[in-house]
Amino acid sequence: MSDLYSTDPLPQLLARWARGELTVEQLAGYLLQHVLRHDQRLDQLEKVLARSKASPPVAGDAMSVP
């Protein structure tokens, strides 16, 4: 998905829509791209969290938090 993800940051999209540079349909498509990207990122974070819970760091490990 990240290779296909090409849209502006949300504040810029809103400004473009407010200026009439985007139709409602275009804005909806861009917003859907943002939602899909965030869903992908959330899925990746959940997988990392699940792995870290399955194998917590060893005491004294440089990555462990005191």
pTM, two decimal places: 0.66
Supply the pLDDT for residue 5: 58
Q: State the first-to-last Cα distance of the chain, in angstroms, to the nearest integer.
A: 37
65 is a domain residue: no
Whether residue 5 is contained in a domain is answered as: no
Residue 64 in any domain: the answer is no
Q: At which residue do the structure tokens 């974070």 appear?
A: 45
pLDDT recorded at residue 2: 46
Query: Which one, of 48, 34, 31, 47, lies nearest residue 2 by Cα?
Result: 34
Instruction: Give residue 55's pLDDT.
Output: 82
Our count of domains for the chain comes to 1
pLDDT digits (tens, 9 = 90+) for 3-62: 555 678 999 999 999 999 999 999 999 999 999 999 999 999 999 999 888 887 667 655
In-domain check, residue 19: yes
DSSP 5-54: -----HHHHHHHHHTTSS-HHHHHHHHHHHHHHHHHHHHHHHHHHHHHHH
